Structure 1
């Protein structure tokens, strides 16, 4: 009854379209004179508003209404005024840095919209406030990305995602133009803990699912470009739930030259793991500390520091497990009894300095240095004894649900002592030069990667007293009816020690231009990247490689009655191998591995329109990728193992559609649909589905509130993905097994009651007077309790020699409480 009530309640929210309070946007920047000196006491206002003034260092922050044309006037007693019109989205922060002079009248006749450039570049912008509101097992940036067309993720405990047929390793992630990394050894989503990106610190989120410019790095699939806040005043926030919590504090010095924001997070996945079918003692400790500091040395020169320290402890002691599967007429159960434990730790430390110099208003020069250090340990000894048999399905029987007849009895011992120590150092220069409508960009980067890695893993499987030999090495025998006299061997045995150094030199040049063809606005860019890398190490022959990647984009906004933008993009994208791609399944490093290459071709466009007097946008893209020098791989949960051999070719083609807008006034929601077909040909044996062949994808993100109770909000996150390949044994020949996992279906819903926000303030002297926002929330993860599976455990019946695929289910329905506070 409760479930039906919740379902009806959520459907009611989806159908309700009502009015809410007006939304706002922020304009900020610095006003300079003709000599590039800051101007104090410039009056900034719009309509009949009170407005604001620039500070002693020329900066300002102005809040304006969103989703409408707002004309802003910048005036000073000794300078000519500037009049400019803006039209910004709800919650958007737009940076505007005009120059005031005394010689000529300055009148802005062009409406400035913060997303015009991004429309023609095919970039999706996500409002930062959504990151903290939308419910999900791993809430944050990646949780929102998985609702977009072309982006998929079938594991709510993981922050990893696939884009248009690519894998987790093919996505670029930048924070303030600094590339960030993820740990190497993590095997499952429940070990991940925290994403690098701290949602409390985020100012802007841009995402490109393909066809991105040459200025971005060398990956095959996507770019996530995050910008952290540069505070203008003091603020603090607290977010706490049954899954952990976060605290952030931001502020600025009295002279506004020093700004800083710091965030601390803690994550505990016990709520999810203890609700799964495996009974366990689980003691995770995931935490990190991040900070972003800036210091304005002068009006032309500033320095920024980004730092992160992450400490993750994963202690896991399984006890028992029972998984029921099969059919109603032939139910089967797997019972497992465990001994032993797993103790893992992943400690990462990251620091980056960024110097930004503007000699004049047309030239910008940057120097970025960063260091990433990860120390990882993966230790486990787990002994499992199992029974596989028929289940009593007689309702009312005192033994209902128990295994009455065992078809298979066996045991399994897993052992690992894996250690990894990686140090990655980067030094990069970037530059931009503007001349009228032309923009030139360039960059050069040196990277040194040193990885020290020891792998010791083995697995022994015993079934009814017989040790199962390694797959692919089973001689002809008549077990279990006659003993096998050969030597015993582990089912799996990997032992390797590697000390590898990779030196990389990369760079790019790029040209951008905006202009007109008749009455039509156009945008185009063309650029080329190059990347040279050398792999060396103990017992390795040094190998050097080089690649070139030309890329181009063209966009046009026709002078039509309808607001339509069209764009095309094409180019070569290379992914020089990282350490994971150089190491094969046996732990052996192959320095001869070439860069995977992909030719991208994308045609897309968007249509902005009004429905019910509210803004909407329909975005569509058709894409095709032709991949060569492909490095085949297998995926188990979130662990990828490569063949370390460029022995395949592949393709990916698909369609992405997304409709977003104010289905409910003042709130942004969207619906997305994706179709993907990606296949690979290994050793010229023919095309088969790639591990990421997610054919159909549907995602929805919806925001609403209760009529007549606008302070009671609801947030709904829906995802449906068709099944991925991966329903076969990991050691199986993919050409013999093309089984798929079941479809992934998930709905997360969150309710929050807002006690304090911009529309509801308290009088001075009240307990809540200094609080900017206070809300309480209740969340339901996996609302319909769908049994999604991420992999299968394969169990052999010794009597029939049949193998059973026992699903490893993900998280069931979970309830969570949440508190949010901002000062």
Structure 2
């Protein structure tokens, strides 16, 4: 028994700095009988008993004492970095209870500092999420992602407990610009791929819960690259009552888009400014304001395109010549006020009010003339690679004048009560959504001189043999004006408990959500609808020698329709669309162990979702169009596996694998693959450094997904077309040379003395130059009536240079 007890240890390590942010050498670190000191770089590491509350004490002859109360699991490594000062105002006792609370909930946490250096065409939090099992995306230009068979509209995103939104009209990843979340401002990142608690909102797939930091001293983070730049500044008042972080970002994706096969004149500007201001009115009362202004302008003038496809024996090509342009603009304004009142040591109240306003415009007139034919494969020919014999010619005219103005207001009150080993949480929220939307878009197609009639219109003309002599109709046509208001009332309550079952530790959480909503507006008269969502989570940590945790969660996840889900294929709002319902079951296991005396964790989750009242949809690039009819049932099932740990000492890397199968049955026609049925997924995020040159670091980001069933025309009957895109394969790699890192040593040069970090990075996006397709363009040979699927390829290999600095 004594030997087993001795083996149950954990590690606390980190770096201690003084008030000047210099390494604090000779700080005594003690815990019970264990004693150590910080070295000349301020680094320390101490072993502590696991599975019990202990206090780690930091003392120094010229600095104030700091205490850290912590409870860790066996073999767990907790990193604690801090500043010690000689001021009266000390942080006092820091309480950390890390008994796998988040692991019990199935929540994945990230280190914010590492995310900034992970290479990707859209670097940031979403870029890292896409390496996780169960999280899928085949569009490197988009920050949107699908989780365990859901679509992009089924994911919750919170910043400081405030729900954030994204623009409505974006149809292409090229147009998205910046994610709302500014990585330079982030402190904590939690992500759940399913089975989350009742305190989170009414979506069916996932939760991304982000907390911005509350700075304690002045600082700045800067980044410059070929794709843009950013600046984040931390500020603190003298009396420590006020603090603020402000971030400014600018991005230009021309470098990426110009690597695509379509030659364009492309002028995008994506910029935003974001601020989080905190005020400590008293020891019990805190106020904070989160604000964001974003302006995304997208000017796109395609010129030419040639796509080669077919086989080596029968190569074909599509050549397109364009006239016209696209001019889109998305302006968003967001503000949220939050106040937290500590009624007592065990009772906290929070009041949150937020306002989101988006003004969007999508205008384009693009005329395309194409040739479809066979390619000259004679290497010595002057026309090598050109189309020599045309199998089809035609033209296409796309037009849109879409405008949207949306205003979303929220008022919320939340409470939290701790009592012994119990925690009770509750909340009430009111939301008002006002949307003014005008959609007017059409497409005309001409093939070999014959106008192609809409696919759903009868009678069909059998051109060119039997031309139809009626009125010309656009191939696709949507026109509608909607003035829509949605009033929502939601509430939740949940109870969590930590205890023991014999010698085993157990956790459980029981909760329920409610939402009631009504759709109204011009010529609209919906009825109030109400749904309830009970949810439960249970975890047990057996008293075994091995560090293993089991968890199970089950619940009903209702998703009341947002505006986009109410609008049908013709652009008309259907007021009585019901909430989609998903009954979720998740069974998970965490196994922590050591390899090479370094910590590792293997996380496995099996899940099953049974969905009813499903609202079928199609996906074209990132644009989702709903049938606005609850005429389907569906299911999703799969297995997610993730192994993470220090493959290289001092760095965190992981390997992930996911299996997913999701199908739907529309109008009892039988089960077919859903648009997000991405069967297999493999992801790798690897960090390394050169053993002899530790300041030279390497970051590798690899994603492999099997093809999505999005290769069919958006207007097609899914029961007739079940084409899949090719597999998605992408590798991004980054190299970073660290010139200054105060955790390791100070710069001896006077000019660089104020820098905490300074590094120069070189990135290669799409290292192996894989041709990944996002959709297909369908072109018809009118004489043989053969339809060809020509892939729309994403970005090719791109090089980027990036400079990072921290003050």
**Shared fold (TM-score, shorter chain, > 0.5):** yes
Gaps of 5+ in 2: 1-11, 19-26, 84-91
| C-alpha spacing 1:333/1:614, structure 2 compared with 1 (3 Å) | same
Residue aligning to 2:315: 331
Please, what TM-score do these two structures have when normalized by structure 1?
0.90
Match of 1:683 in 2: 667
Count of residue pairs brought into register by the alignment = 765
Could you say which residue in structure 2 is the equivalent of 1:36? none
Distance in 2 (alpha carbons) for counterparts of 1:592 and 1:243? 45
Measured in 2, the distance between the counterparts of 1:145 and 1:115 equals 24
- Give the structure 1 partner of residue 125 of structure 2: 141
Distance change in 2, residues 1:121/1:781 (3 Å): same
Question: How does the TM-score come out when normalised to structure 2?
Answer: 0.92
Aligned ranges for residues 189-228 of structure 1 at < 5 Å?
189-228=173-212
Q: State the match for 1:24 in structure 2.
A: 14
* Map of 1:497 onto structure 2: 481
Partners of 2:28 and 2:36 within 8 A in 1: no
- In the other structure, the counterpart of 2:325 is 341
Structure 1 residue 602: Cα displacement: 0.8
After superposing on structure 2, the runs of 4+ consecutive aligned residues of structure 1 that deviate more than 3 Å are: 25-28, 43-51, 62-71, 74-77, 79-95, 111-115, 759-765
Q: Is structure 2 residue 461 aligned with structure 1 residue 461? A: no
Quote the residue 2:239 is aligned against. 255
Match 1:770 to one of 740, 750, 754: 754
Q: How big is the shift at 1:73?
A: 2.4
1:657 aligns with 2:641: yes
- Structure 2: distance between partners of 1:745 and 1:602: 28
2:297 is the counterpart of 1:307: no
**Which whole-Å CA distance do the structure 2 matches of 1:717 and 1:89 have between them?**
24
Q: Is the 8 A contact 2:68 2:96 kept in 1?
A: no
With over 3 angstroms needed to count, the CA separation of the structure-2 counterparts of 1:144 and 1:223, relative to structure 1, is: same
CA contact under 8 A between 1:67 and 1:89: conserved in structure 2?
A: no
- Of 609, 628, 633, 1:644 maps to 628
Q: C-alpha distance in 2, partners of 1:319/1:83?
A: 63
Aligned to 1:274: 258
Distance in 1, Cα, partners of 2:58 & 2:319: 73
Q: Does 1:289 align with 2:289?
A: no
Equivalent position to 1:631, from 589, 597, 615: 615
**CA distances 1:585-622 after superposition (whole Å, capped 9, x unpaired):** 11000011000000001110100000000000000001
Cα 1:133–1:92 shift into 2, 3 Å: farther
Q: Distance in 1 between matches of 2:369 and 2:77?
A: 58
CA distance in 1, matches of 2:46, 2:361: 50
CA drift at 1:93: 7.2
When residues 598 and 83 of structure 1 are mapped into structure 2, their CA distance, relative to the original with a 3 A threshold, is closer
CA–CA distance in structure 2, aligned partners of residues 590 and 408 of structure 1: 40
CA distance in 2, matches of 1:417, 1:49: 67
Q: Which whole-Å CA distance do the structure 2 matches of 1:801 and 1:761 have between them?
A: 71
CA separation in 2, counterparts of 1:80 and 1:739? 66
1:39 alignment counterpart: none
Which residue number corresponds to residue 9 of structure 2?
Answer: none
Worse-matched range after superposition: 632-641 or 267-276: 267-276
Query: Once the two structures are superposed, what CA deviation does each residue of 1:506-538 show, in whole Å capped at 9, x if it has no partner?
Result: 000100010111111110000000000000010
- Residues 737-771 of structure 1, C-alpha deviations (whole Å, 9 max, x = no match): 11100000000000010000134433566221110
Mark the CA change 1:364 to 1:45 in structure 2 (over 3 Å): closer, same or farther. Answer: farther
- SS across alignment from 1:767: helix
Q: Which moved more, 1:573-582 or 1:67-76?
A: 67-76
| Aligned-partner Cα distance in 2 for 1:751–1:149 | 25
Task: Please name the residue that 1:423 is paired with.
Answer: 407
Structure 2 Cα separation of the partners of residues 67 and 91 of structure 1: 12
Aligned mates of 2:341, 2:248 — CA distance in 1: 30
- 1:623 alignment partner, SS class: strand
SS at match of 2:282: coil
CA distance in 1, matches of 2:65, 2:260: 67
Q: Find the counterpart in structure 2 of residue 509 from structure 1.
A: 493
Q: How does 1:606-621 map to 2 (within 5 A)?
A: 606-621=590-605
Compared with structure 1, are the counterparts of its residues 48 and 66 closer, same or farther at alpha carbon in structure 2 (3 Å cutoff)? closer
Deviation at 1:623, TM superposition (A): 0.4
How far apart are the structure 2 equivalents of 1:354 and 1:68?
38
Shift of 1:24: 2.4
Q: Which residue is equivalent to 1:810?
A: 794
Question: In the TM superposition, what is the alpha-carbon distance from 1:303 to its structure 2 partner?
Answer: 0.2
Contact 1:25 1:90 in 2 (8 A): no
Partner of 1:264: 248
> Which residue matches 2:344?
360
Q: Does 1:581 align with 2:565?
A: yes
Counterpart selection for 2:100 from 86, 92, 116: 116
Taking the aligned partners of 2:81 and 2:660, their CA distance within structure 1 comes to: 34
Are 1:704 and 2:688 counterparts?
A: yes
**Offset of residue 94 of structure 1:** 10
The aligned residue for residue 223 of structure 2 is: 239
Is this contact kept in 2: 1:460–1:490, CA < 8 A?
A: yes
Asked if the contact 2:57/2:65 (under 8 Å) is kept, the reply is no
2:370 to 366, 369, 386: 386
In structure 2, relative to structure 1, the CA distance for the partners of 1:476 and 1:257 (3 Å cut) is closer
Report if the CA contact (8 A) 2:16-2:38 is conserved: no
Q: Say whether the 8 Å CA contact 1:67–1:615 is kept in structure 2.
A: no
* 8 Å Cα contact 1:633/1:640 also seen in 2: yes
Distance 1:82 1:348 in 2: 44
Per-residue displacement from partner, 1:163-213 (whole Å, max 9, x unpaired)?
000000000000000000000000000100100000000000000000000
- Paired residue secondary structure (1:709): coil
1:540 is displaced (CA, Å) by 1.0
Q: Which runs of 5+ in 1 are unaligned?
A: 1-21, 29-42, 52-61, 96-105
CA contact (8 A) 2:36 2:45 kept: no
Deviation string, structure 1 residues 207-241 (Cα, Å, up to 9, x no partner): 00000000000000000000001001111010111
Quote the residue 1:595 is aligned against. Answer: 579
Aligned CA distance change for structure 1 residues 792 and 27 (closer, same or farther; 3 Å): farther
Q: Distance in 2 between matches of 1:317 and 1:710?
A: 46
CA deviation map 1:268-315 (0-9, x unaligned): 110011111111000000000000010000000000100000000000
- 2:285–2:341: 8 Å Cα contact kept in structure 1? yes
Matched residue, 1:721? 705
Q: Matches of 2:38 and 2:560 in 1, distance apart? A: 55
Secondary structure class of the residue paired with 2:524: coil
User: Counterparts of 2:400 and 2:330 in 1: how far apart (Å)?
Assistant: 15
Distance of aligned partners of 1:66 and 1:503 in 2 relative to their CA distance in 1, 3 Å threshold: farther
SS of the counterpart of 1:169? helix
Alpha-carbon distance in structure 2 between the residues aligned to 1:379 and 1:170: 27
Match for 2:539 among 555, 558, 582? Answer: 555
Alignment partner of 1:173 out of 131, 152, 157 = 157
Judge which range, 752-761 or 575-584, deviates more.
752-761
2:521 equivalent in structure 1 = 537
Contact 1:572 1:597 in 2 (8 A): yes
Distance 1:83 1:205 in 2: 22
C-alpha distance 80-291 of structure 1, shift in aligned 2 (>3 A) = closer
Counterpart-to-counterpart distance in 2, 1:130 and 1:349: 29
Other-structure match for 1:695: 679
Give 1:398 shift. 1.6
RMSD value over aligned CA atoms? 2.5
Identify the residue that residue 376 of structure 1 maps to in structure 2: 360
Q: SS of the counterpart of 2:591?
A: strand
Aligned to 1:789: 773
Distance 2:66 2:732 in 1: 50
Task: Check the 8 A contact 1:72/1:86 in 2, yes or no.
Answer: no
What's the secondary structure of 2:729's corresponding residue? strand
Aligned residues of 2:432 and 2:487 also touching (Cα < 8 A) = yes
SS in 1 for 2:249: strand
